[in-house]
Amino acid sequence: TQLLEQSPQFLSIQEGENLTVYCNSSSVFSSLQWYRQEPGEGPVLLVTVVTGGEVKKLKRLTFQFGDARKDSSLHITAAQPGDTGLYLCAASFTGGGNKLTFGTGTQLKVEL
């Protein structure tokens, strides 16, 4: 069973601060997605990365895929209260078919 560990588990910061969330596995991903989820709703896709070393930017969010495709990070610059939510990485593993395995999650709270 593949496990995806996210850190930190909880993060409470002030508006304007920067933060980084990490997603790590002992197995190689074939692809990795980052999602944000708000209470009572399904996860919403932020980005998909498939190539080792890939970096993608989405406004104030920067996503990086490790060279060995076993880790990823999400960096948020100048966090805003609207960034508050549960951030989840999810990966497909070689031989796992279409199945997505979710990370343990990072609960982010951005306060004024």
Binding site for other proteins (CB under 8 A): 1, 31, 33, 35, 40-45, 48, 50, 86, 88, 90, 92, 97-105, 107
Pairing of strands 85-93, 106-111: antiparallel
Q: Which is nearer to other proteins, 60 or 109 (CB)?
A: 109
Pairing of strands 29-37, 85-93: antiparallel
Smallest gap from residue 4 Cβ to other proteins (A): 9
Smallest gap from residue 44 Cβ to other proteins (A): 8
Smallest gap from residue 76 Cβ to other proteins (A): 19
CB burial readout 67-79, b (16+ within 10 A) else e: eebbbbbbbbeeb
